[in-house]
Structure 1
Amino acid sequence: MMVKRMTWVARMGAVLGAAAVLAAPVQAKEWKSVTVALEGGYAPWNLTLPGGKLGGFEPELLANLCTRIKIQCNMVAQDWDGMIPGLQAGKFDVLMDAISITPEREKIIAFSRPYAATPATFAVTDTKVLPKAAPGAPVVKLTGEAKTDQPTVDSLRKQLKGKTIGIQSGTVYTKFINDSFKDVATIRVYKTSPERDLDLVAGRIDASFDDVTYYAALMDKKENASIVLAGPKIGGSIWGPGEGLAFRKQDADLRAKFDTAIAAALADGTVKKLADKWFKTDVTP
């Protein structure tokens, strides 16, 4: 979605079905403290540091938000599959795990305003396939409308004609790659992004496409030194509104508090500062 946590889209249907029957009753709360669930294993969004403490972009942003609204936030690590049911059952009050805001999820849970909107891009090991991304180049905004997006897509189609592109299954990126390139390139679909990355490094595919924040963590590893970002960073409404905090629908008052804090953190540059630190790119929505 990873984006965006787009890799979770395929798993969401089963989780939503389970969550629907676990809704907690409405309760008035003063919200002096909340329990926030993060996976703790999705670097650099969130990760578990030596000693068990949670770190990364989201824990640091969360600490800032909670200070602004004067609420004590207790972070806990939770596997993704238990997050939505746990939220609905009252085990957690908030979820923060690079969760993309989608219409399907909004049927079950409520979202804050987005605190990030992550662009995606190609990666290659041979810049003859696509030129290396220019440092500081602006994000190209796509809408999902063919007429509006056509100039950018046509340019990429020419460069990727006859190439093999690797993409993870079950993501919005999968649909974009298939719709835009399947008639000019070979599309190879992988169960996981790491499996695809191995083939990219080995030369079995020519390019991959994924979230820029995923690549930020990927390329810090020695075995991936040959991988470089290539072509434009692609963002915009084509990927949806972005990533937000998740709440029970009845906790509108708590959501409103975090909306206010997120707006302030965006306005004063806090989100951009943390994004530059952890992602090396601006992900402000």
Structure 2
Amino acid sequence: MKKLIIAASCALAMAAGAVQAKEWKEIRIAFDVPYEPFEFKKPNGELTGFEVELAEAMCKDLEAKCELVVQSWDGMIPGLLARKFDAIMSSMSITPERAEKVTFSKPYYNTPGGWFARESVNLDVTDMDAMKGKVVGVQRGTTMDTYVTENMSGTVSVKRYTTADDMVLDLEGQRLDVVFVDYPVGEQTLLSRDGFKEIGEPVKLGEGVGVAMRPRDKDLAEQVNKSLDKLKSDGTYDAIMKKYFKYDIKM
């Protein structure tokens, strides 16, 4: 009888734990700011951007409170694994290396990397002789960083930055010859200003961008995937996307 009581108690505890794990009444979501137009602050300090609005729509659909956490890019995955937040929704490309540490949602957008320079610079970024000795700016730890490191090391000097804003300042100050960034970021931060231009063809990288979560939080990943599918099918995703982009980035 005692064994039956213990077994029943364990079963009830496991069932209660399963229900509790699936509630997710609050989801803490991390963003690297600024990374316009995906995440940035308005003049009043309010966090906004494509991914911020998409995250808020997702939380509303899941009937969960969204806590928006600002986290520098270098500390994203360590912070997630240390439970400082529950998800990363900050233009994190899905890569095999990252997938060994985190669980990704289905990809929710994919944009290419773009090459940008000052108006006076004329370079063929595919010509390694022309690129020899040039200084290329990338954001540290991104797929653009990986691409330049793997394909241009020994030819160019790679300068890595924590934020896209710092990279733009160095390009403007002629401390960089070229930057390779997520195309919408270059479009927003450089092409919207005088004195800069796109050079070369955009480069499609990786498998797209996904929401990163801890491997143990499979229930959260399942809910996030269902919600993203719903937001795409009911038009919410498209309405948010059209506020920030003139082209389709949806996957």
Do these two structures clear the TM 0.5 threshold for a shared fold by scoring above it? yes
How far the C-alpha of 1:208 sits from its partner, in A, is: 2.6
**Percent identity between the aligned chains?**
27
* 1:102 pairs with one of 90, 95, 98: 95
Alignment of 1:88-237 (within 5 A): 88-126=81-119, 129=122, 157-158=126-127, 161-163=129-131, 164=134, 166-168=136-138, 170-177=141-148, 179-180=150-151, 187-192=156-161, 193-194=164-165, 196-203=167-174, 206-219=177-190, 224-235=193-204
Query: Is the 2:103–2:215 Cα contact (8 Å) retained in structure 1?
Result: yes
Cα distance change on mapping 1:91 and 1:165 into 2, 3 Å: closer
Query: Is the 1:219–1:227 Cα contact (8 Å) retained in structure 2?
Result: yes
How far the C-alpha of 1:225 sits from its partner, in A, is: 2.1
Cα distance change on mapping 1:66 and 1:196 into 2, 3 Å: closer
- Residues 53-98 of structure 1 show CA distances to partners (whole Å, capped at 9, x for unaligned) of 32111121122223333x2232232323665455445553333222
Match of 1:246 in 2: 212
Distance 2:227 2:142 in 1: 30
Distance 1:58 1:201 in 2: 27
Cα RMSD (Å): 3.4
Give aligned pairs, total.
Answer: 227
* 1:35 pairs with one of 23, 27, 30: 27
Scaled by the length of structure 2, the TM-score of the pair is: 0.71
Cα distance change on mapping 1:276 and 1:220 into 2, 3 Å: farther
Match of 2:56 in 1: 63
Cα distance change on mapping 1:39 and 1:57 into 2, 3 Å: same
Distance 1:82 1:179 in 2: 23
Distance 2:176 2:83 in 1: 45
- Residues 148-167 of structure 1 show CA distances to partners (whole Å, capped at 9, x for unaligned) of xxxxxxx8535x75243513
Q: Which has the larger radius of gyration?
A: 2
- Specify the code of the residue in structure 1 equivalent to 2:148: I
- Residues 114-150 of structure 1 show CA distances to partners (whole Å, capped at 9, x for unaligned) of 11222111112337726xxxxxxxxxxxxxxxxxxxx
